[in-house]
Amino acid sequence: MPLSYSGISKHPANKKRSKGERVDTVNNDDEKSLGTEWAPLDFRQVNDTFNRFLRITDADTAILKQHQALLLRDGERFAETFYDYLFHFPATARVLREYQAAGGKIDHLIQKQLSHLQSFLSGNYDADSAADLTKIGHIHQQHGIEPVWFMGAYRLYLDYLHDVVAGSSALSNEEGQRLEQAIQKFLFRDMGMMLEGYWDAALSQIQTEKNKVTLLQDQITGLLGNIPQILWSVDVRTNTPLYVSPSTRNICSLDVQMPIPCLAWTHPDDQELVKAAWHEALQGKRVDVESRVQEPGQDPRWFRRVFHPYLDQTGKVVRIDGLMDETTKWKNVISRLHVLATTDSLTGLPNRALLYDRLSQTIATARRDSGKQVALMLMDLDHFKEINDTLGHPAGDEVLRQVAERLTPLLRESDTLARLGGDEFAVILPDSPNGLAAAEKVSDSITAAFSRPFQYEGRDLYLGAGIGIAVFPQHGEDVDTLMSRADLAMYSSKHKGIGSVVYQPQNSDSGAHRFHLTNELRRALDRDEFLLHYQPKIGLRSGHAYGVEALIRWQHPERGLLLPDQFISLAERSGLIQPITDWLIETLAAQCCKWRKGGNDLSIALNVSTTSFQNPKLLQRLHDTLTSGPLQGRDGWMEIEITENTLMADIEHGSHVLRQLRDLGVTVAIDDFGTGYSSLSYLKRLPIQSIKIDKSFVLNMAHDTSDAAIVRSTIELAHNLGYDVVAEGVENRDTLDLLTQMGCDSAQGYFMGYPISASDITHWMAESPWSPSRC
């Protein structure tokens, strides 16, 4: 089908060429990249080869020119018939219709076809004519016209010209034979050069696509080799790797051990865990597992492995894709943070959080072994306040360190000595057949240890200690009860001025006091004796107040202003916490509306006790308040603060409540962060917006490097988990500046504002340098 589509193509090859110009389908850069696999067509060489092979001579050209008029006599009618024929076949008809749809005319193509017939019968077989023919082959390939179609068109040419020669009476037999031979030679040359052009374009296109694939593969390989994670894919039917990223060798340089990469280098204690995760993935489950990988002579490194099963249409696992991501840094950070959060920075002893955890564990162990007891000893130093007041805090700190050093050798390795805060210490004696006898023996040793003076700058400092003893299971069967009763015994010891006291029921005489206070608490709501104070929270980036924390107070008619720690626990035990919580939510909603009307758009944070958080009525009360009335549709005005221990008491229930709070537009903060014993692996999965660093870490952070390290680590970890950070207990400019440098988001404390009444907050917002209107 020579030149049949040359009028259709918009390909650059159809642009006018200068004489001898090369016809290529790739640019120079493409040619350089193709290497030895493919080279653009040298049409001059191919033309010479065709001419020699077909034995085309000037005599063939002469006879064609001599009879050109005869052969073209019915040329236009042939061209019209030719295109009628092409419209009968889908592939050629599609191209022709597209040409017509773009505004092209078939008459134009008929003239082009006739022009080509004239050129063909001119007998020209030089390089320029070869270039034209290869260009037509390029065009056919680009338009998707298969060789079978234009080879069929050449058959039409041959049939037409044969009929003309055979039907001419003006030609002798010999002349007719010579003319038909010349026609056949030029027709085969024409068709051959066009096919060469077609295949040249096809090979060029294939090579270009191969180059793209190779380039993409190189880019992907470079990318995967540059990232620290290992990516891999294994065909589980044959246990052969489909892909393992180059970075594997940075982790296990000598072995990848399929089907689980780096299994042989996995720490022996972790290999069974990894294998179990792999077998779980083979059942179709996505599995995460953390394990250590250790090359010979190197330190262990922690890695998170993720197994992603791929299922075929029948639901069968046929492939497992996975990654390994090093978590050593975060493991170390979390481990260090855990140590800092559970260790007293001054003495190096376990702190209150770790003591509670160990006491809980030892009670659980003793409960399983009915013959074992656990003794708890709480100790408060005598005369310590006088040392602090007269010699200063450095002297007090030094004495506390010496107390820790002096008491530690008196205990077994399995015992626990902890500092609870201030001058309070605690001792756990686990796994004892006679807890009371063991505690009394240790108590005598402690009393003897205090008979010798402590030293500070050449001074002899004498201290005593009041010790309270409670034993599991005689005096209590849970941590809180034992702590409470040991505490009662300790204060009895201090009151009586004797070294140690074992808990006795009469130590609970204060129960009568709590009973009367509980009865008064029941009437406090009816008498409107509760009130709220508000402490501002300051955004450290903006420098102005954006919200407040609501703090409940009890204006007792006889005892004066009582703080929450003096009555909230009573409210929880007596069942009064729920109506108090309802009053709080109702009061805060009304106060929020009042502030907004006055132009103060403040969020309000509310501390929620463990009992209230676990009560489903809390969600219902919040739902009723937030979905009706003037605050309907106003998300973010209320924040709920809960402690780590409240959340971890029942993580499943806690997760459910947090998600419902989020749906209601209530944000959640973890209060007193660092003093509890939560699992970060759980916290990071929950819809928590912020954490509040406990003031015990903040108060002295400007002068205590350990406290500063805890605060910095907490801020960095919280930000990496996507949480905002609020620091409590900011009492001076140095602390505020240090928190700002660490990237802390917000702060509250006496330096910015004391807890004050709602009306005072209004005045504070108008006059304080922390007010948005003054910033």
Collapsing DSSP to helix, strand or coil, 24 comes out as coil
Angle between helices 43-54 and 127-142 (to 10 degrees): 110
Query: Dihedral (C-alpha) 562, 568, 574, 576: value to the nearest 10 degrees?
Result: 90
CB 21 within 8 A of CB 126: no
Which of 706, 618, 617, 688 lies closest to 647 in space, CA to CA? 688
Three-state DSSP at 667 gives: strand
228 vs 449, higher pLDDT: 449
| Residue 556 clears pLDDT 50, i.e. is over it | yes
The pLDDT of residue 113 is above 90 = no
What does the buried/exposed string (b/e) look like for 207-216 if buried means 16 or more CB atoms within 10 Å of the residue's CB?
bbeebeeeee
- Which DSSP string do the residues of 213-272 spell out, in sequence order? HHHHHHHHHHHHHHSSSEEEEEETTTTEEEEE-GGGGGT-TT---TTSTT-TTB-HHHHH
Distance from C-alpha of 476 to C-alpha of 489, rounded to nearest angstrom: 13
Q: Which two tokens stand for residue 484?
A: 């409470």
Q: Are 291 and 300 in contact (CB under 8 A)?
A: no
- DSSP annotation of 22 reads -
φ, ψ at 123 (rounded to 5°): 80, 20
- Number of helices (H) and strands (E), helices first, in the chain? 29, 21
Q: What is the pTM of this model?
A: 0.43
Find the helix packing angle between 617-626 and 651-663, rounded to 10°. 10
Q: 540 and 746 in contact (C-beta within 8 Å)?
A: yes
Give residue 385's identity as a one-letter amino acid code: K
Q: Which amino acid is residue 519, in one-letter code?
A: N
Distance (Å) of CA 458 to CA 196, 385, 387, 448, 461: 106, 19, 14, 22, 9
Cβ proximity of 388 and 398 under 8 Å: no
pLDDT for res 23: 34
**pLDDT score of 584 more than 90:** yes
Quote the pLDDT of residue 400. 94
pLDDT for the residue numbered 33: 40
End-to-end CA distance of the chain: 83
8-state DSSP, 369: S
pLDDT at residue number 416:
95
Q: What is the pLDDT of residues 52-94, one digit of tens each?
A: 998 999 999 999 899 988 888 888 888 888 888 888 888 778 8
In 250-366, beta strands by DSSP E: 287-293, 301-311, 317-326
Report the chain's mean pLDDT, rounded to a whole number.
83
Q: How confident is the model at residue 774 (pLDDT cuts 50, 70, 90)?
A: low
pLDDT at 136: 86
For 210-236, what is the mean pLDDT? 80
Residue of 648 and 273 predicted with greater confidence:
273
pLDDT recorded at residue 509: 54
Question: 535: which residues sit within 8 A by CB, 6+ positions away?
Answer: 548, 549, 551, 748, 753, 754, 755, 756
State mean pLDDT over 683-705: 87
Look at 8-17, 186-195, 359-368 and tell me which has the smallest mean pLDDT: 8-17
Residue 246, pLDDT above cutoff 80: no
Q: Which amino acid is at 462?
A: Y
pLDDT band at 510 (very low <50, low <70, confident <90, very high): low
Secondary structure (DSSP) of 180-217: HHHHHHHHHHHHHHHHHHHHHHHHHHHHHHHHHHHHHH
Alpha carbon distance 290, 269 (integer Å)? 12
Q: Are strands 287-293 and 317-326 parallel, antiparallel or unpaired?
A: unpaired
Which residues lie closer than 8 Å to 18 by C-beta, 6 or more apart?
Answer: none
pLDDT band at residue 36 under the 50/70/90 scheme = very low
Model confidence pLDDT, tens digit, residues 632-689: 767 778 999 988 767 764 566 678 889 899 988 999 998 877 655 444 555 677 888 9
What distances in angstroms separate CA 659 from CA 149, 617, 649, 653, 692, one per listed residue? 67, 15, 17, 10, 20
Residue 554 pLDDT > 90:
yes
Q: Find the mean pLDDT for residues 31-47.
A: 62
- The rounded distance, in Å, linking the Cα atoms of 581 and 618 is 8
Mark 407-421 as b/e (b = at least 16 C-beta within 10 Å). beebbeeebbbbbbe
Average pLDDT over residues 708-712: 91
Q: How far is CA 471 from CA 92, 191, 375, 437, in A?
A: 99, 106, 4, 10
d(CA 727, CA 741): 13
Q: What does the alpha-carbon distance between residue 58 and residue 125 come to, in Å, rounded to a whole number?
A: 9
Nearest Cα residue to 192 out of 14, 95, 398, 49? 49
Confidence (pLDDT) at 215: 87
Residue, of 374 and 328, whose pLDDT is higher: 374
Tell me if residue 552 falls in helix, strand or coil. Answer: strand
pLDDT given at position 47? 86
pLDDT, tens only, 383-440: 787 677 667 888 889 999 999 999 999 999 999 999 988 889 999 999 888 999 999 9
> CA–CA distance from 378 to each of 334, 426, 569, 734 (Å)?
30, 4, 21, 35
Q: Report pLDDT for 515.
A: 67
